[in-house]
């Protein structure tokens, strides 16, 4: 896969960046970011992040905020290469005309044209979430976000590893590792949440592990302005529910590997439409349907493998798609994509998904 070139920067910007404690990354060899967004993030004008802008390097959360605040404007393109552990101790609010940051969270608010990518020995956001609000054209790649809590100490981002809300457009999250160490009773919330008019998002080649809640589209059954989300080549492992939860909107869910969905999986509710293609579900329960509500959602299914999947009985607020899932709607997909055979998906995802995998993608083989 080709890598983008880190552009030369002006002496003035170099001085500004160095004064703020940011290390400038001038070597093209260090620039690590995939070239083209996939899925719904490729629509609505596309998602290019910081392409064409300056590349800087950060080793603390404060330096990430300084990089955002040091731009000429809130839409000036920038790629921020991150290495090391980002935590509460090194993440402080920074002020400026081109940013709106906060303590104890990586805050991407009222900005656009930003890439955050892990490089070198890797980037770990430890107990520190990434929050995207009123922003557009954002890429997050090759990072780990772990153990973000909404209760206990320390807390960050309402307990979400990555959360998006309020008029967010065009976000591509790729090759990331998202994990918790329990459910809501242990202080955690979702790993990948979208609400309040968030659209054109792709989550690809990522791992989501050990959480009560994988993620959602829509915070309630009246929050129906979200959608056009693609999930592909991800691993969901040891997740209780919300893999994902869809409240309205349209989702394309293909070539994902699901292992140990303990209570429910893809939960399509409140008129949501999910196209569910060539996924592999293993050792799981109620992997597709409408659960915990009588507000029906819909699905189109093809090519999926159900390996040791159990299904509950239908009820007033329980409508599992199985044991023999049939399509209840049709979904038209506006972009091109290549489906891997479902039986190959666990092997493909194992070698490609998550941070620090060299941004490898499927070559179509097992």
118: CB partners within 8 A, 6+ apart:
32, 81, 82, 83, 141, 142, 143, 144, 355, 356
Distance CA 180, CA 143 (A): 15
Strands 112-126, 235-241: pairing is unpaired
Measured CA angle at 326 (ends 323, 328), to 5 deg:
130
Q: Which of 71, 209, 242, 269 is catalytic?
A: 242
**Token couple for 38:** 């996939």
Neighbours of 169 (CB within 10 A): 21
29: CB partners within 8 A, 6+ apart:
none
Measured CA angle at 44 (ends 82, 190), to 5 deg:
50
**Residue 247 annotated in active site:** no
**Token couple for 12:** 């003035």
Bridge partners, residue 124, by sequence: 85, 144
Residue 61: which H helix or E strand, with range? helix 61-69
How far, in Å, are 11, 124, 141, 148 from residue 24 at the CA level? 11, 20, 19, 29
Which residues are designated catalytic? 242
């Amino acid at each position: 896969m080709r890598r983008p070139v880190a552009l030369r920067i002006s002496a003035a910007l170099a001085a500004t960046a160095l004064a703020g404690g940011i290390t400038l990354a001038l070597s093209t060899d260090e620039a690590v970011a995939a070239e083209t967004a996939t899925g719904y993030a490729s629509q609505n004008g596309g998602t290019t992040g910081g392409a064409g802008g300056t590349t800087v390097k950060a080793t603390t959360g404060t330096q990430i905020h300084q990089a955002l605040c040091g731009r000429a404007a809130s839409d000036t393109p920038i790629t921020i290469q991150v290495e090391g552990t980002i935590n509460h101790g090194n993440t402080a609010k920074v002020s400026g005309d081109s940013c709106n940051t906060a303590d104890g969270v990586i805050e991407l608010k009222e900005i656009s044209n930003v890439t955050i990518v892990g490089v070198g020995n890797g980037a770990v956001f430890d107990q520190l979430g990434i929050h995207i609000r009123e922003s557009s054209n954002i890429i997050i790649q090759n990072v780990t976000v772990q153990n973000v809590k909404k209760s206990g100490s320390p807390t960050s981002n309402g307990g979400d590893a990555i959360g998006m809300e309020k008029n967010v457009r065009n976000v591509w999250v790729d090759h990331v590792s998202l994990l918790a160490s329990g459910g809501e009773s242990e202080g955690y919330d979702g790993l990948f949440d979208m609400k309040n008019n968030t659209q054109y998002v792709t989550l690809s080649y990522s791992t989501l592990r050990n959480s009560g809640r994988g993620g959602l589209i829509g915070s309630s059954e009246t929050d129906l302005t979200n959608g056009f989300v693609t999930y592909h080549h991800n691993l969901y492992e040891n997740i209780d529910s919300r893999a994902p939860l869809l409240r309205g909107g349209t989702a394309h869910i293909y070539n994902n590997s699901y292992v140990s969905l303990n209570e429910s999986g893809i939960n399509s509710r409140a008129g949501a439409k999910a196209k569910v293609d060539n996924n592999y579900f293993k050792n799981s329960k109620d992997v597709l349907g409408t659960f915990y509500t009588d507000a029906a959602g819909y699905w189109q299914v093809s090519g999926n493998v159900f390996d040791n999947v159990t299904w509950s009985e239908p009820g007033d607020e329980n409508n599992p798609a199985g044991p023999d899932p049939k399509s209840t709607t049709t979904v038209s997909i506006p972009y091109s994509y290549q489906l891997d055979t479902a039986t190959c998906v666990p092997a493909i995802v194992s070698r490609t998904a998550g941070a620090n995998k060299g941004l490898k993608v499927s070559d179509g083989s097992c």
